[in-house]
Structure 1
C-alpha cells in the first residue's frame, strides 16, 4: 500500500533541483503582472495554474517556453525577486523540505535596470526572509541559491565570476541551464575552470534533452559534482544492466548524484508513466538517485507529490524515502556542520525512537 501524501509531507526532505522561475505562486504572478503591466493568459489564480500545467504538458515547445516568458516578466524588480524568493522558501518549508536550493539565471532579470549583483542580493534577501518566517512558524529550513548561466549565451565566465564573488550571498553553487542540444557543457569550459580555481561546487544540466554524450562531457571534461536530470544515462546500459567500462558504470561506481525530476521528465517525453520512468531501474542498479521537482508551477507538483508518485509506481516505503533524502543531503551544496545537523534531524524523523 502506497504511503499517504500527508505522511510523506510530514517527513523532512531535501530539494536539490528546483527553478526559482518555475515555482512562482499563481497569485503572485497576477499581483506583480498587474503592477508592471504584463498580460497573462488568465487573471484567476486557479485558472492561471491550470494554464501553466496544460501549456507545459502540451508537447509544444513553443507553449512550454511561453510559460517562462510570463514568470521571468514578473521577476525584473528587486522587490519582486525578494518576494518570490521568500515565497519559494515558505512553500518548500510548508511541504516538509528542510534544505532547498533555488536555481535561477541572473542574466534573465536585468530588463528593469538591476545589475547582476543587485539581482543576486535581492534573492539573498528573500531567502533570508523566508528562512526567518519559516522558523517563526515552526518549520525551519535552510535555503541556498544556485547561480545559473544560460548555456546558449556567451556570459558563462561572467556569471561564474559573479557566483564566486557573491558566494557569501547564500550562493551554494553554480549551474548551466537552457537548451542542451547544440550547446554542450564544454562551450562554457572557462566558466567551470574558474569555479574549480575558486572551489565553488557546480552541477550541470545533462542527460535530459541530450543523451549520454552530454553526461560524459559534464562528468569527464567539466568534472561536475552533480548532474541535473541525467536520466538518459539508461541509454548507456547494456540489456538493462551496467557493463564494465561504460559511462554508466563510471557514474554509478563513483556515486555521482543524479537530480531526477519525474513529473517534469514525463512532460518532456522521457517516459509516458511514472511506472515507466528510468528512476526505478537506476535505483535498482545502485545509482545515486535523488528526487526533485524542477518546475513546481509547470508540473503542478511538490516534492511530497513526487515522492508519492514514485511510491505508488515502485512500491517504495519510508526506508527508501530516507535513503533518497540521505543521498540528496550528501550531495547538497552545504557546509559540513549544517549537513550533519540536518542528517541527525532527518534520521530522527524517519526512524523515531
Structure 2
C-alpha cells in the first residue's frame, strides 16, 4: 500500500469525521422504502438508482439555499421512531465500512417532530440506532464510535431549547451542539442565549460559519458566541492575501483562527456544490493546509455529494498531491478537535490512528 494513496488503500486506514449530517447521508434505497412505509409521497422517483442520481444533480446547483431544499425528502421520511433508528444504524455501518473509527454525526431534532414525536423521543431513537449500527459493524470487525451533535436551525427560534436538550443527553452519547441552516440574514448572534447557556454548562459547540457567508459570520461565531470549531469555515481564506511573488499575508482574523488552532470542518465536495469553492483543485483547503491551519476533511452530506470520507481524501490526493503523511495529519487534526475527553482522544490517536498509518510512513 505505500506510495501514492489510492481510494481503495485510503478506505483501509483509520479515519475521523467531524462534520456529517444524519439527514444528508441516507441510502437511496432506504429513502424509497421509508417513503413507502410512512406514506411520504413527495419523492421525484421510486427507483433507488435514479433517486441517488437525482439527489446529486439537485445538489449541484451552486446555491446553498437550493442545496438545502433536497432535505425536504430525507426529513420527510424520518418522522417515526423506526425510521430514525434505521437511518442512524445504517449511517454507523456505512461509516464503519469506509474505515471511519470515530464520527460526530449531527442532526436537528426539531426537523423530525412533524408527526408528533417529542424532541426527547427523537434523540433516544437516534442514539438507539447508532448503538445498533456500531454493534453490527463490530460483528464484522469494524469498530466505530459515533457521537452525536444536536443542531438548532438558525432561522427558527428554538436554539436555547435544543441547547438544553444537548446538555440533558450529554451523558448518553450527545457530544455537543451546532446551529445550521442559511447563514445570510441569520447571524449566529441571534442565538446568543443558547451559546451562553452552553458555556455556563461547560458544553461543547461548533457553529456553521464561513460557508455561504463571509468573514463577518466567522468573526461573530468566534468572538461573540465562543465557537470551539467552525462548521466549514472555508471563507477564512478571504482574510488571506497572496502577493504576485507568492508571499502570503494573514489578516488579523485569519491569524487569530490559526494561532488559536480553531478547527475548520472543511467539506470539499459540498463546498463546490454550494458555490463556496469553484472546484476541488481550486479549493482553499490547499492553501489553508499549507499554512497549517487546523484543517479537517469531512463529508457534510454523503447522499447529496455522493461521497465518503475516503473519496474526499482521494480527491484531495489527486488535486494537491498529498501523501500518507498528509492524510495522517488531517486525521490527527480531526481527532485532536473531537468533542471527546482528552484521554479518549489521545488513546484513539496512539492506539488506532498512528498504528494504522505506521507502515505507510516508513
TM-score, with length taken from structure 2 = 0.95
CA contact (8 A) 2:215 2:238 kept: yes
User: Shift of residue 132 of structure 1?
Assistant: 1.0
Partner of 1:143: 146
Q: Aligned residue for 1:76?
A: 79
| Residue in structure 2 matched with residue 125 of structure 1 by the alignment | 128
* 1:25 counterpart residue number: 27
Q: Give the CA deviation at 1:238.
A: 2.5
Partner of residue 177, structure 1 = 180
Q: Which shows bigger deviation, 144-153 or 264-273?
A: 264-273
Counterpart secondary structure, 2:127: helix
Gaps of 5+ in 1: none
Query: Are the equivalent residues in 1 in contact too, given 2:24–2:300 (CA < 8 A)?
Result: yes
Partner of 2:281: 275
CA distance in 2, matches of 1:109, 1:184: 24
Whether contact under 8 Å (2:10, 2:314) holds in the other structure is yes
Q: Deviations over 1:278-319 (max 9, x none)?
A: 000011111110000000000000000000000010000001
Contact 1:2-1:312 within 8 A present in 2 as well: no
Which residue is 2:355 aligned to? 348
What's the offset of the Cα at 1:169? 2.3
1:100 aligns with 2:100: no
Q: How far, CA to CA, are the matches of 1:303 and 1:220 in structure 2?
A: 30
Structure 2 counterpart of 1:43, from 43, 46, 59: 46
1:67 equivalent in structure 2 = 70
Question: Following the alignment from structure 1 to structure 2, what is the Cα–Cα distance between the partners of residues 145 and 244?
Answer: 34
Alignment of 1:284-295 (within 5 A): 284-295=290-301
- Cα shift at 1:62: 6.3
Q: Is the 8 A contact 1:226 1:258 kept in 2?
A: yes
Alignment partner, residue 188 of structure 1? 191
CA displacement, residues 170-195 of structure 1 (integer Å, 9 cap, x when unaligned): 10100000010011111100000110
Give 3-state SS (helix, strand or coil) of 1:238's partner. strand
| 2:312 corresponds to | 306
In structure 2, stretches of 5+ residues that fail to align are none
Offset of residue 18 of structure 1? 0.2
- Tell me, in whole angstroms, the C-alpha distance in 1 between the residues paired with 2:60 and 2:77: 22
SS class of match (1:154): coil
Superposition deviation, residue 239 in structure 1: 2.8
The answer to whether the Cα contact below 8 Å between 2:105 and 2:147 also exists between their aligned partners in 1 is: yes
Q: Distance in 1 between matches of 2:347 and 2:277?
A: 37
In structure 2, the residue corresponding to 1:274 is in which secondary structure? Answer: coil
Q: Deviations over 1:251-271 (max 9, x none)?
A: 011110000000000001122
Aligned length: 353
Is residue 30–residue 43 contact of structure 1 (8 Å, CA) maintained in 2?
yes
From 171, 190, 197, give the equivalent of 2:200.
197
Q: Deviations over 1:99-129 (max 9, x none)?
A: 0111000011101211001100001101111
Match of 1:7 in 2: 9
Q: Indicate if the aligned counterparts of 1:120 and 1:169 stay in contact, CA closer than 8 A.
A: no
